[in-house]
Structure 1
């Protein structure tokens, strides 16, 4: 019985460490999502009126950033005759505008990725919290099952 107690003695500690890691990931994910959202909102970018979705809305969420990035790509393609920045001749008068559009689109896609990483961190945090609580509960149940039962009175 002593070896069982020694083996399960580490489980509550492990559960606590998993809970702490899960809490840290959850908090970091929520804070990161909030920071990215408020930073985008501070830029006062509005989704173009010709966007397929979210037209006229302020960009502060990943779906709005994605919608605006797609509109920028369409506008740049129209301006460049379907060519990318790299395909345009150096003396093309639209080259600088297409380059700026490419940078803006990349920045918006980067924010979409940041939102995704933040959501992933928060989701993993929730999973780790659940695992940590389950480990601690399992250790408690095992300890109770291994406890000597009181003898007849």
Structure 2
């Protein structure tokens, strides 16, 4: 009984650590994106004109960068362009920008997942710490 209560306490504390770490990561990524002062292009499929500071606006901006790059290169990707093609630099820059934005989208997802796992750990810890009714009745009968 004592071991499960101790493990429950440890699990709940770890859950709290996960929630705090996930929250801090989410806020930090949001602030870094916001500092870049990027706005989703006006011709984006969604969130046009929105300030890029979250996962959805970062995804929308990444999508429109891809569209603009493909429009500029005649539908060709970086790998499809000849090495001497001057448009290869456009495709390369677009690819780097998209990768950066997608990295932030993944970071938001991992941070959110960490907070969810943390919440689950807290619930599990509370469950381990709770005494079943049969144990409570047995303890009360012996007192």
CA 13–98 in structure 1, closer or farther in 2 if over 3 Å, else same: same
Distance 1:149 1:35 in 2: 54
Out of 113, 118, 127, the residue aligned to residue 120 of structure 1 is 113
Shift of 1:146: 2.4
Instruction: Provide the residue aligned with 1:145 in structure 2.
Output: 137
| 2:76 is aligned with 1:71 | no
Structure 1 residue aligned with 2:87: 94
Displacement of 1:138 in angstroms is 3.0
Where does 1:24-39 land on structure 2 (aligned, <5 Å)? Answer: 24-39=17-32
Q: Which has the larger radius of gyration?
A: 1
> Map of 1:4-43 to 2, 5 A cutoff?
8-43=1-36
Distance 1:15 1:150, change over 3 A: closer
TM-score (norm 1): 0.88
Deviation at 1:143, TM superposition (A): 4.3
Match of 1:106 in 2: 99
SS of structure 1 residue aligned to 2:16: helix
Q: Offset of 1:145 from its aligned partner?
A: 2.5
* Distance in 2, Cα, partners of 1:138 & 1:75: 61
- Aligned residue in 2 for 1:60: 53
In structure 1, how many angstroms separate the alpha carbons of the residues matched to 2:102 and 2:64? 12
Structure 1, unaligned runs of 5 or more: 1-7
Count of paired positions: 143
For structure 1, which segment, 41-50 or 84-93, has the greater mean C-alpha deviation from structure 2 after superposition? Answer: 84-93
| Whole-angstrom distance in 2 between the partners of 1:69 and 1:17 | 41
